[in-house]
Structure 1
Amino acid sequence: MSATVTFDNQVTVAGTGGPVLGDADFRFLRDFVLQHCGIALSDQKRQLVQGRLLRRLRALGLKEFGSYCELLRRDPDSELGDLASAISTNVTSFFRESHHYDLLEQTLLPQWLQQKRRQGDRLRIWSAGCSTGEEPYALAMVLAEALERHGADVDAKILATDLSPQALAGAREGVYSIDKLGGVSAERRRRWFLRGEGSYEGLACIHPRLRELVVIQPLNLLHEWPMSGLFDAIFCRNVVIYFDKPTKERLFRRYAGKLVAEGYLFLGHSESMHGLSDDFDLVGRTVYRKRPA
């Protein structure tokens, strides 16, 4: 095992020359991430942060974590997305937590489409923290099928947002390896994916019809939200798990303000709103409905 040699805040691992995250730099990063991303990093996350940010140092040609911290001080917005992407775990898949999609398909969408068609209103769903696009495209499959099934001439769209530029690039590309389609039924694979050939063998591309339904935009949930209209449902799954309690409370309050009367908020399987908001009622497994005014 190599020894660690420290000179003030410049830390390297003897025998490797690789930088190690010093106390002052870790404190700065922890405060920065909490302020700009709402992510609370405990002392136990220090090695994880060090390991993941080493890749950013290499990509940027930086030799020390101090230089990286200085970059964040000078121009925080330029690196914020890459930093958040590096320290968070983007695990996603098509039709993850399938009971949410079942509720949409069997109950909510038929009701909404009937109502929207009668009132001439629009239908909007927000995938907040869309990662590489599996969630919004799965939502688009269910929505497209519902529009066909119920013959609804309704202005329907899905907004997909994320802070990570790499994740958004993947979502916009809409190309996935075949082994990533495990949650998609054989019928939906045939209907909603274009199978690659030749050099694209083993890949599948999202059908253009689904692309029409999904609008992909960068967004930091802690910053200003430019959307002017309200949403019928918001999917924010496996996102708030990273946030501290005050950030969760503020976020749930803001979500309530962006939902229509009795709109729905979907959280991840390990997330809960218990003790964090009086604006919602639990109506299903990690499914919450906005309380009437």
Structure 2
Amino acid sequence: MFAVANSETADAPASFSRDLDFTVRDFERVRALIYRRAGIVMADNKREMVYSRLAKRLRLHGMTRFSDYLAHLDSRPDSDEWEAFTNALTTNLTAFFREAHHFPVLAEEIKRRGPSIKIWCAGASTGEEPYSLAMTVQEALGSAASQVKILATDIDTEALNTARQGIYPLESVEKLGEARCRRFFQRGSGARAGKARVRPELASMIDFRTLNLVTDKWSLNAPFDIIFCRNVMIYFDKETQSAILRRFASQMKPDGLLFAGHSENFSFLNQTFRLRGQTIYTLAANAVAGAARGGRPA
């Protein structure tokens, strides 16, 4: 599936292997395993990143060779170590109200649809995005916002634990402005000085769950009015993107909206989605017909 670079033999150690034995063949095995497990495509230039992130796991197990660690994974398909392996190779880059142009559109949709709106954040990471969605709901609906439940999923269990705690550096929260800081966060003191915690009424709106988008098991309370899946598809190849996006379509209401990331373009699925705004998609006509029949969109 993944070709070895011509300039290196499959058994040659990488130049950055440092104190642990990490060969090009090991890197190719890591790429194949994370693709099989999570659909993530690992580029050629990620070898040093793979080493630095997985080296911690090897040292924890007292191993000195990546080949031994990968053999350990292969021989134990149900091992908890798979979760740690996946967490280590997942990238979490997020911020509150990232790609801000989406949120005024979201606010108008929330007002139009009311408290019965169903929202799914399919890439919750460490929580900044789903909490931004919850803040937008509260600002749009006021007291009725408590009726809204936001589903927030991610494959990275460590990131989800951070999200559930809802504790962030004060400097990142202060960027939201004084009004939002006072309304949605509690400033820490003592050991938590320099931190801010999401207020309980905001946290209670979000249901955080672990979900691997490439598995067949999506136990979701569909259909959704809004799906936020931003800067997630960039880690998948076109085949995996197509499969996931078609499943998204089957989870959406006929007039539902899919919010994508700034570098993502789903125009290759023009029979399923059509562009409505800046990286905002709605179902194409035949997909709407399929959703109305209760079937899977084309």
Q: Report the TM-score range of the alignment, normalised by the length of the smaller protein.
A: 0.7 to 0.9
Return the alpha-carbon distance in structure 1 between the equivalents of residues 48 and 18 of structure 2: 17
Q: Percent identity, aligned pairs only?
A: 39
Aligned with residue 246 of structure 2, among 245, 253, 259: 253
- In the other structure, the counterpart of 2:154 is 162
Would the alpha carbon gap of residues 47 and 13 (structure 1) be closer, same or farther in structure 2, given more than 3 Å must change?
Answer: closer
Question: Does structure 1 residue 280 correspond to structure 2 residue 262?
Answer: no
Find the aligned partners of 1:204 and 1:146 in 2 and give their Cα distance. Answer: 23
Q: 1:80 to 1:123 in 2, by over 3 A?
A: farther
Distance 1:17 1:229 in 2: 48
1:56-83 CA-partner distances (Å, limit 9, x unpaired): 2223332211122122213345233333
One-letter code aligned to 2:62: G
- The aligned counterpart of 2:35 is 34
Partners of 2:21 and 2:64 within 8 A in 1: no
Distance 1:198 1:41 in 2: 42
- TM-score, scaled relative to structure 2: 0.85
Cα offsets for 1:179-233 (capped at 9, x unmatched)? 1225412211110000111221111000111111100011111111111421111
Q: Distance in 2 between matches of 1:170 and 1:246?
A: 31
Residues 168 and 195, structure 2, Cα contact 8 Å, conserved in 1:
yes
Say if 1:51 and 1:154 are closer, same or farther in 2 by CA, change over 3 A.
closer
Moved more, 155-164 or 179-188: 179-188
Which position in structure 2 is the counterpart of 1:57?
A: 58
Give the 3 Å change call, closer, same or farther, for CA 91–162 of structure 1 in structure 2. Answer: same
> By how many angstroms is 1:277 displaced?
4.8
Unpaired stretches in structure 2, ≥5 consecutive residues: 1-9, 290-298
1:93 to 95, 114, 120: 95
What per-residue deviation string (whole Å, max 9, x for no partner) do you get for residues 221-280 of structure 1? Answer: 111111142111111111111101100000100000011112111111111112145211
Q: What is the total number of aligned residue pairs between the two structures?
A: 277
Contact 2:146 2:205 in 1 (8 A): no
Question: Match for 1:127 among 116, 121, 125?
Answer: 121
Instruction: Give the SS at the match of 1:205.
Output: strand
Q: Counterpart amino acid of 2:219?
A: P
Per the TM alignment, residue 167 of structure 1 is displaced from its structure 2 partner at its CA by 0.2
**Is 1:232 aligned with 2:225?**
yes
Structure-1 separation of matches of 2:21 and 2:51? 7
Q: Structure 2 CA distance, aligned partners of 1:262 and 1:215?
A: 23
CA displacement, residues 94-126 of structure 1 (integer Å, 9 cap, x when unaligned) = 000111111111x2011111xx6xxxxx32111
Q: TM-score of the superposition, structure 1-length normalised? A: 0.87
CA contact (8 A) 1:248 1:276 kept: no
Aligned-pair RMSD on alpha carbons?
2.4
Whether 2:202 is the aligned partner of 1:210: answer yes
Instruction: Sort the Cα spacing of 1:13 and 1:261 in 2 relative to 1 into closer, same or farther, 3 A.
Output: closer
Which is worse superposed, 87-96 or 186-195? 87-96
Structure 1 or 2: more strand by fraction = 1
Distance 1:52 1:84 in 2: 10
| 2-structure distance, mates of 1:60, 1:145 | 48
Describe the SS at the equivalent of 1:275. Answer: helix
